[in-house]
Amino acid sequence: MSALYISASVAVLALFLLLRGLRLAPTRPLPPGPRGLPFVGNLFQLPSKLMWFQMVEWSKEYGPMFSYTILGQTVIVLTRVKEATDLLDRMSAKTSDRPRMIKLSEHMCRRMEFASSSIAWRSLFGHETIPLLGFDPTKPIEEFSAEIFRCVVPGGSIVDVFRFLNPIILRFKYFRRYSDRCYQTITAFFLKAYSDPQVDTVPSLSSKLKGNKERFGMKDDIDCSWVGGTLFIAAQDTTATSLRWFFVAMLLYPETALAARAQLASVVGDRPPSFSDSERLPQIDALVKELLRWRPAAAGGIPHMANEDIIYKNYLIPKGAIISPVAWSICRDPSLYPNGDTFDPSRFLDEMGNIKRPAQHSHDDYLAFGHGRRICVGKNLAINTLWITIATLLWAFDFQLSVDEHGQEVAPDPMAFWDNGATVWPAKFGARLVPRVEDLREKLKASMGK
């Protein structure tokens, strides 16, 4: 009797669990997307360079939110402001994880769990601004940054695609000799930058960390040096990428500099601009906004990860899915930015020449800095760096096309890209900078000393 009773109870419980499982099992489909192959998914449809370009193409076919898979890993791609802000800002509690980036965080940057070069160098490490001519102390970071930025792209490294290789790579030094060398070299570099005496009287991140390690939860000097180093890597290449595109914009759309130069002439005259002029130079604000919109430095966006199942627009975004906001497309969303391919700072100005009130959910028209709880922590530093650099460049120089060996002017191609992983530079181009101000060097030197 009791055996029968137990069997019946087990059967009822099993039925209950089965029904509950069926009810809870998400029945919604993934967002549409390109058909892949069994097991490997869409792996072979992804280009090894400029992957976001493929995303832009797929969005034309599958809409503003679509999905693809790489070896069973689902990737949800967002290409419009609405979907990006709904999922990454408004549901940011569920979408702020980062995917596991094995090569990046476990091989190359083992101390990275916290997380234009001259300004970052000064504010992070407290050293003097980098001289325009001569030795650049931050040069060794460039190669390392390029490697890091490649690891951030979904599927950007072999070990992140074929994860089962990780234990083997960890086990055998031979397989990780390159990552080990990078980690050791860059750690030595960061440690020196952190430990060298700060010459600047302005407080820096390093000067704040020194003597306060425990308070900030750092184990040792290496941890502290990696905080500054990580921020420096995030700051340097993104800001420099934007400045490269600034030159391209000025060469291709010289008319857009006229209004800014007229404003500079009336506000600052023959002295270099400074932050104290910012209220009276809205044209520069508009240029910075348009630059970051027209060519967002991290064009493919930085991936997030869903930490629970989400049903959105009747589609399932499963827990563990990578969510990839494509900044290039989001910053061209026609509902906010018509004629998005054209560089036109005036889109941000009203008829009085003041900055327009930004549209709702446009992040004050700075969508290039990402979303939600993961939004770029250096956003303000980046905007200010670009602002003062652009204002000074426009004040100091005319930008002219370079000439080839036949004396013909050569314009940069705005659609020729150099893939740097997470950041996308313009392909190499030439420009001539012609001083517009007398005694430029002396005036710049005098203003830097202030």
Q: Which residues are part of a known binding site for heme? A: 376
In what helix (H) or strand (E) does residue 418 lie, and over which residues does it extend?
strand 417-420
Give whichever of 320 and 430 is closer to ligand HEM, judged by the CB atom: 320
Is 161 a binding residue for ligand HEM by CB under 6 A? The answer is no
| Range in contact with ligand HEM (rule: CB under 6 A) among 99-107, 133-141, 210-218, 229-237 | 229-237
Contacting residue, 73, 242, 283, 392, with ligand HEM by CB under 6 A: 242
Contacting residue, 67, 118, 179, 238, with ligand HEM by CB under 6 A: 238
Min dist. Cβ of residue 154 to ligand HEM (A):
13
Structure tokens, 194:
């952190």
- The binding site comprises 376
Binding-residue pattern over the window 108 to 137 for ligand HEM, x denoting contact by CB under 6 A? -------x----x-----------------
Is 323 a binding residue for ligand HEM by CB under 6 A? The answer is no
**CA–CA separation, 82 vs 65, rounded Å?**
10
Indicate the residue type of 412: P
From the centroid of its chain, how far is CA 230?
13
Contacting residues for 398 by C-beta, under 8 A, at least 6 apart? 433, 434, 436
DSSP-derived secondary structure letter, 367: G
**CA–CA separation, 283 vs 289, rounded Å?**
10
Half-sphere exposure (CA, 13 Å, Cβ side) for 310?
A: 24
Is 381 a binding residue for ligand HEM by CB under 6 A? The answer is yes
Min dist. Cβ of residue 49 to ligand HEM (A):
19
Is 369 a binding residue for ligand HEM by CB under 6 A? The answer is yes
C-alpha distances out from residue 26 to 5, 76, 167, Å: 33, 16, 32
Contacting residue, 345, 370, 414, 426, with ligand HEM by CB under 6 A: 370
Contacting residue, 371, 388, 395, 396, with ligand HEM by CB under 6 A: 371
Q: With CA atoms as reference, report the closest residue to 188 among 143, 236, 140, 235.
A: 140
Min dist. Cβ of residue 141 to ligand HEM (A):
13
Q: What number of other Cβ atoms are within 10 A of residue 218's Cβ?
A: 18
Structure tokens, 17:
């669990």
Is 374 a binding residue for ligand HEM by CB under 6 A? The answer is yes
Structure tokens, 318:
């499963």
Is 321 a binding residue for ligand HEM by CB under 6 A? The answer is no
- 273 with 391: CB under 8 angstroms? yes
| Range in contact with ligand HEM (rule: CB under 6 A) among 32-40, 171-179, 208-216, 373-381 | 373-381
Contacting residue, 75, 76, 368, 424, with ligand HEM by CB under 6 A: 368
Indicate the residue type of 232: F
Question: Hey, what's the torsion of the CAs at 341, 404, 433, 285, to 10 degrees?
Answer: 0
Structure tokens, 222:
């290496």
Is 43 a binding residue for ligand HEM by CB under 6 A? The answer is no
| Range in contact with ligand HEM (rule: CB under 6 A) among 31-39, 71-79, 221-229, 294-302 | 294-302
Is 235 a binding residue for ligand HEM by CB under 6 A? The answer is yes
Q: Which residue's structure tokens are 């992070």?
A: 124
**CA–CA separation, 116 vs 134, rounded Å?**
17
| Range in contact with ligand HEM (rule: CB under 6 A) among 8-16, 68-76, 207-215, 296-304 | 296-304
Give whichever of 55 and 368 is closer to ligand HEM, judged by the CB atom: 368
| Range in contact with ligand HEM (rule: CB under 6 A) among 14-22, 30-38, 232-240, 312-320 | 232-240
- 240 with 118: CB under 8 angstroms? no
Is 300 a binding residue for ligand HEM by CB under 6 A? The answer is no
Min dist. Cβ of residue 376 to ligand HEM (A):
3
Is 440 a binding residue for ligand HEM by CB under 6 A? The answer is no
Angle at alpha carbon of residue 162, lines to 158 and 166, rounded to 5°: 85
Is 231 a binding residue for ligand HEM by CB under 6 A? The answer is yes
- For ligand HEM, the binding residues (CB under 6 A) are 115, 120, 231, 234-235, 238-239, 242, 296-298, 302, 304, 368-371, 374-378, 381-382
